[in-house]
């Protein structure tokens, strides 16, 4: 454990802030250590024993910390050991895509307990957000969850946002009606708990770093391959946001000048080649030219339509047309990843999103492209990995977003609330 210094600030406003900061530091030290005593906390933080006692009393009163027995004696009385109560509260994580809402509940260690997917057409925000509210209510009012204390809602959203205000700036795959929609305000008014909203690939990157395959990475890039293609970049403890929060929009890097028209208004963006709608368009156009015995052709003959899951499932067969299509399109994503590796030199790149169930096929192509478009010292040393959280990375990341804001920000006030409904287990 690292010994942390204390900042000395004297004005009342600052002393309140410092108190919050110290409480935040202590709760996270207790959370990261299975068992710890007040004396050890004083040694680690440099805070005085009375200050530690006061903070711990508050944390026990609000249910976030519990006393769980006696530790080893250091020469005197055996000290009382403390433990983080990960069931003191829960967060709700939500991932929104153009056709679906995924919702999960998680305890304070982000163990998801109830992941559900609900088909909702998200194109019209007024209708879709009411559906979203109804879905959240149904989950939290379920008899299994009624006694739980919900501390916050995290949302992974497929578009560009003003994260501070919680408004949508632009969601090219949902449509213009979303521009300016105050999603955070609407949900905060409805549920009266903090709501945090972030672009889906950034949220998924956070989930991967905290709870997925990236726990040992300092810097990582997460590529979301779904309706759109986007990247979440984490450098150190921070999500790379850029000046206006638009960083990571690799789906709109131009791959073919004067190529197909993109939802963003430009032409030839990566998404127009490799996003789910683009792949469906390509397959639908080429289907009449395929042999009758082709597996996709046969599925079309039965259902009279082809969905992305048909393509992904058939692509698992060697030498299939579906696999060829994914290989061809994934070369362009590989190019975009090469650029990202050249720019950021990450510890690892994670591939997630709806199409990640065939990530093995993609990754083979990515490696070929990366080998020819990056410095070998960098390209060879950068693992390209399948997201450990798989298709749940967005929703688990949304829970992680809420937990990060609630447990790691000194502006969080969850430890000052009363003890009502805190589940004591
Ligand atoms: Zn575009």
Distance 284 CA to ligand 1 centre (A): 21
The whole-number pLDDT of residue 413 equals: 78
CB-CB contact of 355 with 308 (8 Å): yes
Residue ranges in the chain modelled with pLDDT below 50: 1-6, 8-9, 418-425
Residue-wise DSSP of 352-365: ESGGGGGHHHHHHH
Mean pLDDT of the chain: 88
Distance 252 CA to ligand 1 centre (A): 4
Burial level of 291, CB count in 10 A (0-12/13-18/19+)? exposed
Other Cβ atoms less than 10 A from the Cβ of 41: the count is 23
Distance 271 CA to ligand 1 centre (A): 6
What the block records as the tokens of 198 is 């972030």
List the one residue out of 197, 172, 170 whose CA is nearest residue 181.
170
Residue-wise DSSP of 161-176: EETTTTEEEE-TTT-G
At the topology level of CATH, where does 215-387 sit?
Nucleotidyltransferase; domain 5 (3.30.420)
Element (H, E) at 101: strand 100-107
What the block records as the tokens of 182 is 């105050």
Distance 202 CA to ligand 1 centre (A): 18
CB-CB contact of 80 with 373 (8 Å): no
What the block records as the tokens of 334 is 């590989």
Burial level of 7, CB count in 10 A (0-12/13-18/19+)? exposed
CB-CB contact of 38 with 49 (8 Å): yes
Q: Which CATH superfamily is domain 90-206+393-416 in?
A: ATPase, nucleotide binding domain (3.30.420.40)
Q: Name residue 269's beta-bridge partners.
A: 254
At the topology level of CATH, where does 12-84 sit?
Arc Repressor Mutant, subunit A (1.10.10)
Distance 265 CA to ligand 1 centre (A): 6
* pTM exceeds 0.85 for this model: no
Distance 98 CA to ligand 1 centre (A): 16
Q: d(Cα 418, Cα 48) in Å, to the nearest integer?
A: 26
Establish whether domains 12-84 and 90-206+393-416 are of one fold: no
Distance 260 CA to ligand 1 centre (A): 10
pLDDT in tens, 357-408: 888 888 989 999 999 999 988 989 999 999 998 888 899 999 999 998 998 8
Distance 303 CA to ligand 1 centre (A): 31
Distance 415 CA to ligand 1 centre (A): 43
pLDDT in tens, 238-281: 899 888 888 999 999 999 999 999 988 999 999 999 999 999 99
What the block records as the tokens of 406 is 């609630």
Q: d(Cα 23, Cα 38) in Å, to the nearest integer?
A: 13
Other Cβ atoms less than 10 A from the Cβ of 390: the count is 15
Checking phi first, is residue 151 left (phi over 0); if not, alpha (psi -120 to 50) or beta? Answer: alpha
DSSP H helices in 143-275? 183-191, 200-211, 271-274
Taking CA atoms, 86 is separated from 30, 109, 154, 422, in Å, by 11, 6, 17, 11
Distance 106 CA to ligand 1 centre (A): 34
The residue ranges of every structural domain in the chain are 12-84, 90-206+393-416, 215-387
Distance 219 CA to ligand 1 centre (A): 26
Distance 251 CA to ligand 1 centre (A): 6
């Amino acid at each position: 454990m690292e010994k942390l210094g204390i900042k000395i600030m004297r004005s009342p406003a600052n002393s309140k802030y410092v108190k919050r900061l110290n409480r935040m530091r202590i709760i996270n030290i207790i959370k990261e250590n299975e068992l710890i005593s007040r004396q050890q906390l004083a040694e680690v933080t440099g805070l005085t024993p009375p200050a530690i006692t006061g903070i711990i009393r508050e944390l026990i009163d609000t249910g976030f910390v519990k006393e769980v027995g006696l530790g080893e004696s250091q020469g005197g009385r055996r000290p009382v050991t403390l433990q983080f109560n990960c069931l003191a509260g829960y967060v709700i994580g939500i991932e929104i895509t153009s056709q679906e809402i995924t919702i999960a509940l998680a305890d304070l260690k982000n163990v998801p307990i109830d992941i559900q997917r609900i088909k909702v057409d998200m194109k019209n925000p007024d209708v879709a957000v009411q559906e979203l509210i109804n879905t959240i209510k149904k989950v939290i009012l379920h008899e299994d969850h009624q006694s739980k204390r919900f501390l916050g809602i995290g949302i992974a959203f497929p578009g560009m946002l003003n994260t501070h205000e919680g408004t949508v700036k632009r969601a090219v795959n949902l449509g213009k009606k979303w521009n300016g929609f105050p999603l955070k305000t609407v949900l905060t008014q409805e549920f009266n708990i903090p709501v945090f909203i972030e672009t889906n690939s950034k949220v998924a990157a956070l989930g991967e770093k905290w709870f997925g395959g990236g726990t040992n990475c300092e810097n990582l890039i997460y590529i979301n391959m779904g309706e759109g293609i986007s990247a979440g970049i984490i450098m150190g403890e921070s999500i790379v946001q850029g000046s206006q929060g638009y960083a990571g929009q690799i789906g709109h890097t131009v791959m073919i000048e004067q190529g197909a028209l993109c939802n963003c208004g430009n032409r030839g963006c990566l998404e127009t080649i490799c996003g789910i709608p683009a792949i469906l368009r390509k397959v639908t156009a080429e289907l009449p030219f395929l042999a009758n015995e082709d597996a996709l052709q046969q599925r079309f003959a039965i259902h009279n339509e082809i969905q992305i899951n048909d393509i992904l499932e058939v692509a698992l067969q060697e030498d299939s047309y579906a696999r060829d299509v994914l290989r061809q399109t994934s070369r362009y994503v590989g190019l975009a990843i090469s650029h990202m590796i050249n720019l950021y030199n990450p510890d690892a790149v994670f591939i997630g999103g709806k199409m990640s169930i065939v990530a093995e096929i993609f990754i083979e192509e990515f490696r070929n492209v990366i080998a020819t478009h990056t410095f070998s010292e960098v390209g060879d040393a950068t693992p390209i990995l399948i997201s450990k959280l798989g298709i749940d990375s967005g929703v688990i990341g949304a829970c992680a977003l809420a937990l990060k804001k609630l447990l790691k920000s000194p502006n969080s006030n969850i430890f000052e609330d009363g003890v009502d409904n805190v589940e004591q287990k």
